[in-house]
Amino acid sequence: MIEVKNMSKSFNNKLVLNNINTVFEKGKTNLIIGQSGSGKTVLMKCCIGLEMPESGVINFDNRPFSTISEKKKTDIRKEMGVLFQGGALFDSFNVEQNVMFPLNMFTNKTLEEKLERVNFCLNRVNLENVNKLFPSEISGGMMKRVAIARAISNSPSYLFCDEPNSGLDPKTAEVIDALISEITEEYDITTVVNTHDMNSVLQIGQKISFLYKGQLWWEGDKTSILETDNPELQDFVFSTELTRRLKKK
């Protein structure tokens, strides 16, 4: 469980996050949604420690994260898996080396054990016979899946995914969403997904936090979001022609 309390953050005197209070629950896929510029990415960056919140606290299972020393942060970071928007795979490593990287850094497993774990993680994300390929030799969807395999290779307690479906076709996006949801339930981890893809929201949104102009505007799940009477959220949810037509039906 990740708890965010009274968190605010500004850049150049412009308030980007304004007094955010929320809880990302364990064993659930927690979605942060909102328009571009609403503060989703900043909220996630604060949670993973790439940005420092100006006020407020973030607790990982009652362990304070934002206020502790860099060394103690490192211990909590070892329990995190992060899927970046572009995958952020290491160019100079092949798929196998990328997935093995956290194991090389933080475990004392033998090469055989590490290879076994790598193959398990790659199988888990439905990838086979790609071990020796480099990131430049695989598709965008495969890169995302390799990045998920790398994120789960060291059995994290917290999984963060920043725009996991950006740049993917709807079919592949659905596969990635299903994968994230399955992994969350299977390993009982706290997953936080940052997205503005309504398909993801309706498919895997067990807990949804809607950010609007830096404020936490609404919270609910994939069922209640369709029945909301909140005008800003309605604008967001029914912003496309497709969703508007579905609403009329």
Partner 1 sequence: MNKRSISTPLNVTKKTSFYLNKTHFKIFGQFIKLSPDHQHLIQLFVLLSSKLQRTFMLKLLGEYLILMFETFKRPDKYSVFRRQLMIEFIGLGVDSIGIVAIISVFSGAIVAIQTAYNIDSPLIPLTMVGFTTRQMMVLEFSPTIISLILAGKAGSRIASEIGTMRVTQQIDALRVMGVNPANYLILPKITASMLFNPLLIIFSIGLGISGGWFACVITNLVASADYIEGIQGWFEPFTITYAIIKTLVFALIISSVSGFLGYTLEGGSVEVGKASTKAVVYSSIIIIFFDLILTQMLLV
**27, 49, 141, 167: which one binds partner 1 (CB under 8 A):** 49
**6, 21, 37, 50: which one binds partner 1 (CB under 8 A):** 50
159 near partner 1, rule: CB under 8 A: no
109 near partner 1, rule: CB under 8 A: no
Q: Which is nearer to partner 1, 78 or 244 (CB)?
A: 78
Least Å distance between CB 80 and partner 1?
Answer: 6
Least Å distance between CB 224 and partner 1?
Answer: 31
Write the DSSP assignment of 150-218 as a string of letters.
HHHTT--SEEEEESTTTT--HHHHHHHHHHHHHHHHHHT-EEEEE---HHHHHHH-SEEEEEETTEEEE
**Residue range at the interface with partner 1 (CB under 8 A); choices 29-37, 76-84, 165-173, 203-211:** 76-84
Q: What CA–CA distance (Å, rounded) separates 85 from 88?
A: 8
120 near partner 1, rule: CB under 8 A: no
Q: Which is nearer to partner 1, 70 or 128 (CB)?
A: 70
Phi, psi of 200 (to 5 degrees): -65, -45
Least Å distance between CB 50 and partner 1?
Answer: 6
Structure tokens at 182: 């399955």
Least Å distance between CB 52 and partner 1?
Answer: 13
**18, 19, 57, 101: which one binds partner 1 (CB under 8 A):** 101
Residue type, 65: F
Least Å distance between CB 136 and partner 1?
Answer: 12
Q: Which is nearer to partner 1, 70 or 241 (CB)?
A: 70
Q: What CA–CA distance (Å, rounded) separates 54 from 229?
A: 32
**86, 140, 141, 220: which one binds partner 1 (CB under 8 A):** 86
**Residue range at the interface with partner 1 (CB under 8 A); choices 16-24, 99-107, 109-117, 213-221:** 99-107
Half-sphere exposure (Cβ direction) of 162: Cα atoms closer than 13 Å? 20
- Residues 6 or more apart whose CB falls under 8 angstroms from that of 101 comprise 90, 93, 150, 153
Residue pair 208/225 in contact (Cβ under 8 Å)? The answer is yes
Q: Left if phi > 0, otherwise alpha if psi is -120 to 50, otherwise beta: which for 216?
A: beta
Q: What CA–CA distance (Å, rounded) separates 18 from 215?
A: 5
Binding site for partner 1 (CB under 8 A): 48-50, 74-75, 77-78, 80, 82, 84-86, 88-92, 101-102, 104-106, 160
